């Protein structure tokens, strides 16, 4: 692949870079001239694009060990993209507690701990990018655990942005909408119900699954996110025209209206 720009041997770390958005980011950042480090549980299909570090980021000790191994080998990090994530759906009351904790480990604690571990090696003008989700901006029924994990990640990014401003380190969060990738199929799905919820849990799940053909193509979304990671320095970016419009509406209408609208869209009655 021809490199578009010479970034003078700048180093980029991408978590969850073996598939989906992460795999596209690895390729695009290499295209932009970065030396890319991929951190994930499984090796990427095209490993020549990056230096692969195997790690289950849900285990804090392994995340710390991997961060230290990266620092020992490279010494500095110019761009950190916390992309690894895991979805979960189901009635919040009925999702097993261990699954809730696991999702929070992957979606919130892993990027928090990994960022803390790599920050000492990040010089002025370096950048941290948190890959969030449109679910961080709009609450959805039966997605409460995932929405809250990504909302927490947004707040972490905003706080870090303020804390690191004097150090010249930029922190950006990117919230993509629906993307056609393995992420959707890998989501933890709990369709258990009771008299309180009836068939609405399964109906909401089916509605989400049936939208697969309407999702953004992963290549297109990944390229947009890579451009944001390399070129832009704003606090929040939304990928997907529909979600940009919904975010605009959320600034105009009261929260109760937005909750009612998303409930009607994703909590169908059967």
Q: Where are the domains of the chain?
A: 11-266
Q: Output the pLDDT for position 29.
A: 96
Q: Where are the alpha helices (DSSP H) in the chain?
A: 20-31, 60-74, 97-104, 110-118, 144-163, 182-186, 200-209, 218-231, 241-252, 255-266
The H-or-E segment that residue 128 falls in is strand 127-131
Percent of the chain's residues with pLDDT above 70 = 93
Distance of alpha carbon 255 from alpha carbon 53, whole angstroms: 42
How far the first Cα of the chain sits from its last, in Å, is 50
Q: Specify the pLDDT at position 205.
A: 85
Mean per-residue pLDDT over the chain, rounded: 90
Percent of the chain clearing pLDDT 90 (strictly above)? 70
Q: For residue 2, what pLDDT is reported?
A: 52
Please give the residue that has the higher pLDDT: either 166 or 48.
166
For 80-115, what is each residue's pLDDT tens digit? 999 999 999 999 999 999 999 999 999 999 999 999
Mean pLDDT of 32-48: 87
pLDDT higher at 35 or 179: 35
Which pLDDT score, from 0 to 100, does residue 242 have? 87
Whether residue 142 is predicted with pLDDT greater than 90 in this model: the reply is: yes
What is the pLDDT at residue 7? 52
Where residue 49 falls among pLDDT bands split at 50, 70, 90? confident
Q: 177: helix, coil or strand?
A: coil
pLDDT at residue 209, rounded to an integer:
78
Residue 212: per-residue pLDDT: 67
- What integer pLDDT is reported at residue 179 of this predicted model? 86
- In this predicted structure, which of 66-75, 144-153, 168-177, 237-246 has the lowest mean pLDDT? 237-246
Query: Any bridge partners for residue 11, and if so which?
Result: 35
Q: Of the candidates 239, 235, 227, which has an alpha carbon nearest to the alpha carbon of residue 4?
A: 227
pLDDT of residue 47 exceeding 70, the answer is: no
State the pLDDT confidence band at 269, using cuts at 50, 70 and 90: low
User: What is 29-75 written as a DSSP string?
Assistant: HHHTT-EEEEEESS--TTGGGSEEEE--TTSHHHHHHHHHHHHHHHS
Taking a C-beta distance cutoff of 8 angstroms, is the pair 95, 103 a contact?
Answer: no
**pLDDT above 70: residue 5:** no
Overall CATH class of domain 11-266: alpha beta
Whether the per-residue pLDDT at 8 is higher than 60: the answer is no
Highest mean pLDDT of the ranges 43-57, 78-92, 176-190, 208-222: 78-92
- Does the global pTM surpass 0.75? yes
**DSSP summary character for residue 254:** -
233 by DSSP, 3-state: which?
A: coil
Q: With contact defined as beta carbons under 8 Å apart, do 189 and 89 qualify? A: yes
Residue 28 has pLDDT above 60, yes or no: yes
133's tokens: 């989700």
Q: Which tokens hold the place of 113? A: 């701990």
| Pairing mode, strands 79-82 and 127-131 | parallel
Report residue 114 as tokens. 């990994």
258 pLDDT band, cuts 50/70/90, is confident
- At residue 168, the 3 state secondary structure works out as coil
């Amino acid at each position: 692949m021809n490199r578009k720009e010479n970034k003078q041997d700048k180093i980029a770390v991408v978590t969850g870079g073996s598939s989906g958005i992460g795999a596209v980011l690895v390729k695009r950042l290499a295209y932009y001239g970065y030396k890319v480090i991929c951190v994930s549980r499984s090796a990427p299909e095209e490993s020549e694009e990056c230096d692969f570090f195997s790690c289950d980021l849900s285990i804090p000790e392994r995340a710390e060990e991997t961060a230290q191994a990266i620092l020992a080998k490279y010494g500095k990090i110019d761009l950190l993209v916390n992309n690894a994530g895991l979805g979960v759906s189901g009635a919040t009351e009925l999702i097993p507690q261990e699954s809730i904790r696991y999702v929070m480990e992957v979606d919130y604690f892993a990027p928090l701990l990994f960022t803390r571990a790599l920050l000492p090696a990040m010089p002025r003008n370096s950048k941290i990018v948190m890959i969030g989700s449109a679910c961080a901006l709009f609450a959805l029924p039966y997605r409460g655990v995932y929405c809250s994990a990504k909302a927490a990640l947004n707040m972490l990014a905003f706080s870090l942005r303020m804390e690191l401003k004097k150090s010249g380190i930029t922190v950006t969060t990117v919230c993509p909408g629906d993307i056609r990738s393995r992420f959707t199929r890998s989501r933890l799905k709990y369709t258990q119900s009771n008299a309180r919820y009836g068939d609405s849990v399964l109906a909401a799940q089916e509605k989400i699954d049936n939208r697969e053909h309407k999702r953004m193509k992963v290549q297109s979304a990944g390229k947009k996110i890579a451009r944001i990671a390399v070129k832009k320095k704003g606090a929040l970016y939304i990928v997907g025209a529909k979600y940009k419009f919904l975010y605009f509406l959320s600034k105009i209408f009261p929260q109760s209206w937005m909750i009612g609208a998303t409930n009607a869209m994703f909590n169908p009655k059967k």
